[in-house]
Amino acid sequence: MGHGPVKVDPAIERFNTMREEAYLHFRWTNRTVRTAILGFVVIPATLYYIADKSYQRWNFTGKLKGESLRTHPEQ
C-alpha cells in the first residue's frame, strides 16, 4: 500500500502516530492547567479589556492637522 515512488520513513511514521494519538495520553498537570488558564482566560480577558476601553475612542475621518482625534475631546 505505497504511494508510488515515495519511500516510507519510519521516523516520520512514528512522529505522525505520536501526534495523532497525543490526546490519548493527555493528563492535567500543573503546567497544563497553568497554560490552559493563561490561554483561555487571562489573554482573552486582557484583549477584551483593551478592546472595550479603546472602542469608539478615536475618530480619524475628516480631521485636520492639529485637531484632536478623540471622539469626545475634553474641554
Residue 11 has pLDDT above 60, yes or no: yes
All cell numbers assigned to 72: 469626545
Indicate the average pLDDT of the chain. 88
Instruction: Report the domain count for the chain.
Output: 1
Specify if 41 maps to a domain. yes
Specify if 16 maps to a domain. yes
Specify if 24 maps to a domain. yes
Q: What residues pair up with 58 in beta bridges, in sequence order?
A: 70
Question: 70 near 57, Cβ under 8 Å?
Answer: yes
Q: Where are the alpha helices (DSSP H) in the chain?
A: 10-20, 30-37, 43-54
Query: What's the pLDDT score for residue 62?
Result: 76
Residue 71 has pLDDT above 90, yes or no: no
Q: How far is CA 44 from the centre of its chain?
A: 9
CA pair distance 48, 42, nearest whole angstrom: 10
pTM: 0.59
Specify if 23 maps to a domain. yes
All cell numbers assigned to 11: 521516523
Residue 17 has pLDDT above 70, yes or no: yes
Q: Which domain holds residue 39?
A: 10-49
